[in-house]
Structure 1
Amino acid sequence: LVLPLERQLHEASRWNQVERMKELFEKRVNIRARNHVGRVALHWAAGAGHEQAVRLLLERGAAVDDVDSFGMNSLLLSAWFGHLQIVQILVNAGAKVHCESKDGLTLLHCAAQKGHVPVLAFVMEDLEDVALDHADKLGRTAFHRAAEHGQLDALDFLVGSGCDHSVKDKGGNTALHLAASQGHVDVLQRLVDIGLDLEEQNTEGLTALHAAAEGIHADCVMLLLGAGSNVNALTQKRLSCLHYAALGGSEDLSRALIKAGGCTNVADKQGTTPMHLAVKHNFPGLVQLLIDGHSDLDAVDIRRQTPLHLAAEHAWQDVADMLLIAGADLSLRDKQGKTALAVAARSNHVSLVDMIIKADRFYRWEKQDHRQETQQLRSVLWRLASRYLRPNEWKKLAYSWQFTEAHVCAIEQQWTGTRSYQEHGHRMLLIWLHGVAAAGENPSKALFEGLVAIGRRDLAESTRNMANGEPTAPRRCTAM
């Protein structure tokens, strides 16, 4: 830790307070004192571009090549911040010009990344034996750094100086990959004009188009598509650009890729399609776009799950609604042998269970019927389920109306106590009513016939009276 006087020297150097610095030197302050990240006074003065402070520190014996915890010395810091005059002063003071930070950054890397062309020009024209294509610890040259950080002027200078355009970093990335991944469309255009290979893949198999799609950089994607990039190129994991667009939930990008010929049904090594991803991450707009683009609704992944299984697992009702309307196959089973209905029931997603049963029974989905003539019947159904139906009678009714065993099991999956059968019966009756209304049948007549079929004519008669608004027993006059 720095002492109070040493901290004051750092601050004075940072703000070019030369007189205060001289006062501190009179008190024999330690000029090489370091703070918690290894910075000395000369680092602050050089990074801030203060010529007077730098000269004073050098006169007082500051070590020109001291490095901080990141391996950055005063020369690298002055190049990073674009202070050409400080760079020249330090070089004249004997600074090592071939220095590197712990990340392997040289003077060229620092100046290129920050776009300081005058510093680049000084390094290339006035210093000796500077390696233009020297790579840092990531295998990136100054050309890579300029592209990655969108420094077009620096990029042009390096190109004019004869740098290697096609060099790759340790991840197999060209400058095209790096510019695309960061969304630098002007730099990307220049690299395309230079003639970099659009289909070059990095070690993971990504092209520049993949990198742009992964970053959801629509303008870069459009540029690369216009230049002829392969929209259906696959990575090592068999990911397409549309997979990346789906992961990011971008409808605009997905639309552009589909319009350019992107395949909507390509599956990665896990069997995952863009539709699986759009459903899993709950992007309803993108799901509808993929449906309209003729995506396979029944594609199965490595777990044999369809998009509808995923919607059921995560209880995404809007997405499930879209898939049901589009005609997703409800009979398909995952590796555990479960249908989407069973998955929803297992997870206790009651409203989704009911939605799937309705779709399975009537092969279409309509909004809940709220016509006035059904309102009284709904009240009757509630009383029927909660007061009059005995345990298991709701199941008999369900089977008489062609509910399947899977439907019944899904409904009774939710356990709320010894009287759960009342809630189960009510849900079944509402699902039944939805179907009867959708089919244009007379619900009162169908209910009467169903109750008779299970041997409850007494209940059928009283229920018909309730539905017609008639009293089920004589009313008595009472005096207040």
Structure 2
Amino acid sequence: QTALHWSAFYNRPEHVRLLIKHDSNIGIPDSEGKIPLHWAAHSQEYTAIHTVHCILILSSECGSIAGPDTVPGGLDLNILMCVSGHAKIVHLLLERNTSGTIPSDSHGATPLHYGAQSNYAETVGVFLSHPSVKDEPDLEGRTAFMWAAGKGSDDVIRTMLTLTPHIDINMADKYGGTALHAASLSGHVSTVRLLLERGAIVDSLDVMKHTPLFRACEMGHRHIILTLIKGSARVHLVDLDGHTALHWAALGGNAEVCQLLMENGISPNVQDQAGRTPLQCAAYGGYITCMAVLLMENNADPNIQDKEGRTALHWSCNNGYLDAVKLLLNSNAFPNHMEHNEERYTPLDYALLGEHSEVTQYMLEHGALSIAAIQDIAAASIQALYKGYTVRKAFTERKQLLMRHEQLRKDAAKKREEEQRRREAEQQISLARTEKQRMLLAR
């Protein structure tokens, strides 16, 4: 670093003026790649404007916002000005800018983005008042207004709404996220209220069909959720995968949020497109408190199987969550549900495959079986059933044979009886004829 670097760093305008008049080169970068103008502009001191002004006035090399070099990370000088929050310095630099545009970093973000996220309302006002500055989106499609919402920069939001009255408050980035999505995800209640008051769409959908409520539920921001619901957010909406806000709350292990959503009408047994319930989502993460709220306070069904046949117990055993396994079994979870695929694994199989010895032991103590054991039992049952079938078949055949024999005996006896009656009838007829002939001869 040169003497000019140090003078700029310590904000000594009289020293800067003297050094520049004696031909000190203001364009020489130090080991960090910064020229004296960087250091002067980065100062938080109010009097830094005098040092910056001195450098700009005394040197023709600084006729634009950006200095001849950049700092590591691709951030240009103007971005550092914005980060510093020194509105007068920003104004001075903008007035010296002859390019008519302001540069952006490698992410497409401009100084306006960085000033907005830092809640430098005065600096943002200076930017927006300059004709060369527009709220252009970065490479992700996010505007400075969205950055401000994501950081809870309410003062900046009010400033931008005032200076740009035609701003699209519901503008979406390349993923469909709006300023309200950003504020809800980050948990800024006052920002959410402000955006809703200014006309933000409460149920705007991103590309995954997530509303701001989904973002808040995922992160467990209870006050945001209450604010959105008060603003008429619909709690029963589902995303592209059929997940409800309750699924996302359970995936995050947010028990209090889960309870809040169920109090607002979401069923604890709602299933997504894969057939998974919020309980299964909570079991996957081993979130005991969340599972207890679903099971004990809202009567969630622990035996619902997803489309692959897995239950909440499968997931708890798979990940070795002993407390979750105990809770499920104490809540009447059936220990031997089998998958619907070729393997037909039970929860115990998952515990065995994961080498979770404590879970395995507990499951065995509570009647759990592996698929191999179930197959052995089934095979023995089939064998016993087959033997019983063979005996029953032989008995049936013998019974039928005896019945046929009895019928033949009855038929033969009936035939003999009929033959005997016929003979007796013939004998009576013969005797009657003989008696009639004898009487005729006697006359």
**Residues 145-184 of structure 1: pairs in structure 2 closer than 5 A:** 145-161=147-163, 162=165, 163-184=167-188
Change in CA separation of 1:407 and 1:302 when aligned onto 2, cut-off 3 Å: closer
2:334 aligns with one of 329, 339, 356:
329
Partner in structure 2 of residue 84 of structure 1: 87
Change in CA separation of 1:34 and 1:266 when aligned onto 2, cut-off 3 Å: farther
Change in CA separation of 1:345 and 1:115 when aligned onto 2, cut-off 3 Å: closer
Residue type of the partner of 2:141?
Answer: G
2:18 is equivalent to residue 16 of structure 1: no
SS of aligned partner of 1:168: coil
The offset of 1:22, in angstroms, is 6.0
**CA distance in 2: counterparts of 1:351 and 1:111, whole angstroms:** 54
CA contact (8 A) 1:344 1:353 kept: yes
**CA distance in 1: counterparts of 2:31 and 2:241, whole angstroms:** 43
**CA distance in 2: counterparts of 1:237 and 1:38, whole angstroms:** 49
**CA distance in 2: counterparts of 1:337 and 1:228, whole angstroms:** 45
Kindly provide the CA deviation profile for residues 330-357 of structure 1, in whole angstroms up to 9, marking residues without a partner as x.
2311232222233334444444334333
- Compute the TM-score of the two structures, normalised by the length of structure 1: 0.68
Number of matched pairs: 361
Kindly provide the CA deviation profile for residues 222-249 of structure 1, in whole angstroms up to 9, marking residues without a partner as x.
1111222111222222222122212221
Kindly provide the CA deviation profile for residues 348-391 of structure 1, in whole angstroms up to 9, marking residues without a partner as x.
44443343334339xxxxxxxxxxxxxxxxxxxxxxxxxxxxxx
Partner in structure 1 of residue 199 of structure 2: 195
**Residues 288-307 of structure 1: pairs in structure 2 closer than 5 A:** 288-292=292-296, 293-301=298-306, 303-307=308-312
Kindly provide the CA deviation profile for residues 380-411 of structure 1, in whole angstroms up to 9, marking residues without a partner as x.
xxxxxxxxxxxxxxxxxxxxxxxx9839999x
The offset of 1:210, in angstroms, is 0.6
The offset of 1:310, in angstroms, is 1.8
2:211 is equivalent to residue 207 of structure 1: yes
**CA distance in 1: counterparts of 2:324 and 2:331, whole angstroms:** 11
Kindly provide the CA deviation profile for residues 302-325 of structure 1, in whole angstroms up to 9, marking residues without a partner as x.
543211112222222211111111
Partner in structure 2 of residue 223 of structure 1: 227
Kindly provide the CA deviation profile for residues 160-204 of structure 1, in whole angstroms up to 9, marking residues without a partner as x.
231221211111111111111111110100111122211110112
SS of aligned partner of 2:257: helix
2:146 aligns with one of 137, 144, 150:
144
The offset of 1:256, in angstroms, is 0.9
Residue type of the partner of 1:83?
Answer: H
**Residues 256-267 of structure 1: pairs in structure 2 closer than 5 A:** 256-267=260-271
Residue type of the partner of 1:166?
Answer: N
- Compute the TM-score of the two structures, normalised by the length of structure 2: 0.73
**CA distance in 2: counterparts of 1:73 and 1:349, whole angstroms:** 54
CA contact (8 A) 2:220 2:252 kept: yes
CA contact (8 A) 2:12 2:51 kept: yes
Q: Which moved more, 1:297-306 or 1:240-249?
A: 297-306
Q: Which moved more, 1:156-165 or 1:33-42?
A: 33-42
1:40 aligns with one of 22, 35, 39:
35
CA contact (8 A) 2:214 2:248 kept: yes
**CA distance in 2: counterparts of 1:355 and 1:107, whole angstroms:** 60
2:364 aligns with one of 338, 348, 357:
357
Partner in structure 1 of residue 51 of structure 2: 53
SS of aligned partner of 1:235: coil
The offset of 1:76, in angstroms, is 3.7
Larger radius of gyration: 2
Identity %: 26
Change in CA separation of 1:234 and 1:53 when aligned onto 2, cut-off 3 Å: same
CA contact (8 A) 2:100 2:132 kept: no
Unmatched tracts of structure 2, length 5 or more: 378-443
CA contact (8 A) 2:90 2:126 kept: no
**CA distance in 1: counterparts of 2:151 and 2:354, whole angstroms:** 47
CA contact (8 A) 1:189 1:223 kept: yes
Change in CA separation of 1:123 and 1:274 when aligned onto 2, cut-off 3 Å: same
**Residues 119-134 of structure 1: pairs in structure 2 closer than 5 A:** 119-125=123-129, 127-128=130-131, 130-131=133-134, 133-134=135-136
Partner in structure 2 of residue 380 of structure 1: none
The offset of 1:38, in angstroms, is 4.0
CA contact (8 A) 2:352 2:360 kept: yes
Unmatched tracts of structure 1, length 5 or more: 362-403, 411-480
Change in CA separation of 1:271 and 1:13 when aligned onto 2, cut-off 3 Å: farther
